[in-house]
């Protein structure tokens, strides 16, 4: 199931469908996923999205809103809040800092 999330991180998360595919109840799937990864399926998806957005911002020179949409966010402001929470800076400030380090 981690492979599915890795491939389809930009799609809406459907835990019930993942659980069904894994032949588990949703609660069993959730608990097993958290035991294996140390985070919930949604936390895992958010991490994947933010890491990919960071890569896109750094390597493709996208605007933050465009990167947000490409990784599955519907709201650039929601993306920016989650990005700042994860990396400690707004998307563009973080990318400037990373580029200065290169």
Give the burial string for 6-39 (b: 16+ CB within 10 Å, else e): eeebeeebebeebbeeeebeeeebbeebeeeeee
Tokens of 76: 């650039």
Q: Determine phi and psi for 22, rounding to 5 degrees.
A: -85, 0
Look up tokens 């936390």; give the residue: 43
CATH assignment, 47-101? 1.10.10.60
Mean pLDDT on 34-60: 96
Give residue-wise pLDDT tens across range 26-42. 999 999 999 999 999 99
Residue 74 and residue 101: Cα distance in Å, rounded?
31
Give residue-wise pLDDT tens across range 60-101. 999 999 999 999 999 999 999 999 999 999 999 999 999 999
pLDDT band for position 4 (cuts 50, 70, 90) = confident
Residue ranges, comma separated, of all CATH 1.10.10.60 domains in the chain are 47-101
pLDDT of residue 56: 97
DSSP state letters, 21-58? HTTS-HHHHHHHHHHHHSS-HHHHHHHHHHHHHHHHHH
């Amino acid at each position: 199931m981690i492979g599915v999330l890795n491939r389809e991180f930009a799609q809406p998360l459907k835990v019930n469908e993942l659980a069904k595919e894994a032949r588990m109840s949703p609660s069993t799937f959730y608990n097993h996923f958290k035991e294996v990864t140390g985070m919930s399926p949604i936390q895992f998806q958010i991490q994947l999205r933010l890491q990919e957005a960071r890569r896109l911002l750094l390597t493709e020179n996208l605007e933050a809103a465009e990167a947000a949409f490409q990784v599955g966010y519907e709201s650039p402001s929601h993306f920016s809040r989650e990005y700042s929470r994860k990396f400690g800076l707004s998307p563009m400030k973080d990318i400037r800092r990373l580029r200065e380090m290169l």
